[in-house]
Amino acid sequence: MPWKKFLLFNFLGAVLWVSVVASLGYFFGSRWDWLLNELEDLQLVLAAVAVLVLLVLWRRERRRVATRAR
């Protein structure tokens, strides 16, 4: 990738990231404790979903390999 294109996308990504983080801080600054509590609950749900997705992918791969072996 040319460096000028990289620099442009890097800058745009940084602007987006800073905007999101600053906005979250502005909107949730006064409710920080509530937000952390909600994120703890969400973290457990996301971990469970990730485990299920990994199990499904593992099972598919296992079936694909078994089908090739025949």
Determine the pLDDT at residue 48: 95
Count how many domains the chain has.
1
Whole-prediction pTM:
0.48
Domain enclosing residue 53, as ranges = 3-69
pLDDT single digits (tens) 2-61: 999 999 999 999 999 999 999 988 888 888 888 888 888 899 899 999 999 999 999 999
Residue-level length of the chain? 70
Which candidate, 50, 52, 30, 53, places its Cα nearest to that of 42?
Answer: 50
